[in-house]
Every structure is written in C-alpha cells, then in structure tokens.
Amino acid sequence: MSATTPVATTAAHHSPVRVRPIRIILAAALSLAVVLGLAGPAHAATAAEKMAVLTSFTQTSASSYNSWNNARTHQGDWAAYGFDWSTDFCSASPDRPLGFDFTLSCHRHDFGYRNYKAAGAFTDANKNLVDSAFYADLKRKCAGYSAVVRPACLSLAWTYYQAVSIFGSLASVDESDVDAAAELI
C-alpha cells in the first residue's frame, strides 16, 4: 500500500472520494471549540434577570412551583443567578406535621424570603407573594391526600400560612403580635 491520501467510495455512486486528513483535523478542532464554548462558564445574570427569574419562581401557580423545583434539583444550571438555596425547611415547626409532608413547600418559602432579602427587595408585596405561594403549595400538597385526612391537612396548611404571614419576618413582627400570640398559649 502506498503513502498516498486514503481513498473511499460512496455507496450510491461507487466513485472514489478523497479524504483529506487536514480537513478532518480542522473539523474535529472546530467541533471541540464549539463544545468547549458551550460548556464554558455562563455570564453572571444581571439584577433585572435575577429578579425576573426570582419572581417567576415565587408565584402561586403549580407551574411556578414546578419550575422552581426543577431548578432546585439542577442548581448548577442556575449558578449565574447566585441564588441562595439554603433552607431550614419549616424552621421551628415540624416539617411533616401529623405525617403531612410540608418539606418542599417550606423550602420554596425559604428560597423566596432569602433571595428577596439578598436582592434588597423584601417588600411587603414580595413577602405577601411568597407567603401566598407557600399557602398554595401547601393546599396542593393536601389535595394529594385522601378525602378522609385532607381536612386535617388543610387546617394545618392554614395554620402554617398564618404563622408565616404574621411571624414570617422579624421586621414584620411587633410586640403586639408577640403579646397576642402569648395569649393564645
């Protein structure tokens, strides 16, 4: 066999096709550059982009919850946004009161509070939005339980919502709220 350029034939025409090694090398290099370019670090999200995504992740709809939960399970894809994904779940309250699993609802609630605060946008309106989304999440969770136990779940959901609505932020709690809660105990 000689040291000439390899020859191949196409199935359709059985005519020789010359394979040029330099073209193969260039195509491979270009492909590698494209792949590495796509896998490279993403740009940092702007404050406006971060707020838009944060707002979309804290709506009352099931689709908002599903988008947030998908992002939660793929946090690396959202690194450019610098979100705080930490949580203490339902804080001092049980995560699974009477066996009803409120864990992810509490996690999304923490996500909303922590990220609106970090963005300097923890206004009454945004607090109410996050609290309302929390209540909607809890009600959707309760809807998955049997009709026999669902009323108990919904009652707990209402109690958890009231707790965050009134005591959800130290800035929103005043002494009269604490005094009123003490009277209930």
Per-residue pLDDT tens over the stretch 89-147: 999 999 999 999 999 999 999 999 999 999 999 999 999 999 999 999 999 999 999 99
On whether residue 2 sits in a domain, the answer given is no
**34 and 104: one domain?**
no
Kindly state whether residue 96 falls inside one of the protein's structural domains. Answer: yes
Query: 117 and 85, same structural domain?
Result: yes
Closest by CA to 18, choosing from 4, 6, 28, 26, is: 6
Based on the fold, state whether residues 33 and 57 are members of the same structural domain: no
Q: Which amino acid is at 14?
A: H
Q: What is the pLDDT of residue 168?
A: 80
68 inside domain: yes
Q: Please report how many Cα atoms fall inside a 13 Å half-sphere around the Cα of residue 31, on the Cβ side.
A: 6
If asked whether residues 85 and 11 sit together in one domain, one would say: no
**17 and 70 part of one domain:** no
Residue 166 is part of a domain; what is its CATH number?
1.20.90.10
**Number of domains the chain is built from:** 2
What is the β-pairing status of strands 16-18 and 7-9? Answer: antiparallel
Do residues 53 and 139 share a domain? yes
Of 13, 43, 74, 109, which is the active-site residue?
Answer: 109
DSSP label at residue 81: G
Q: What is the CA radius of gyration of the chain?
A: 27
Please, which residues have CB within 8 angstroms of residue 80's CB and are 6 or more apart in sequence? 42, 43, 44, 45
Tokens of 83: 């979100």
List CB contacts of 79: < 8 A, sequence separation 6 or more.
42
Confidence of residue 177 (pLDDT cuts 50, 70, 90): low
Between these two residues, 41 and 134, which has the higher pLDDT value?
A: 134
pLDDT of residue 10: 47
pLDDT for 31 equals: 46
137 conformational bin, left if phi > 0, alpha if psi -120 to 50, beta if neither = alpha
Same structural domain, 96 and 33: no
Which residues form the domain of 12? 7-39
CA nearest neighbour of 106 among 79, 133, 67, 70: 133
109 is catalytic: yes
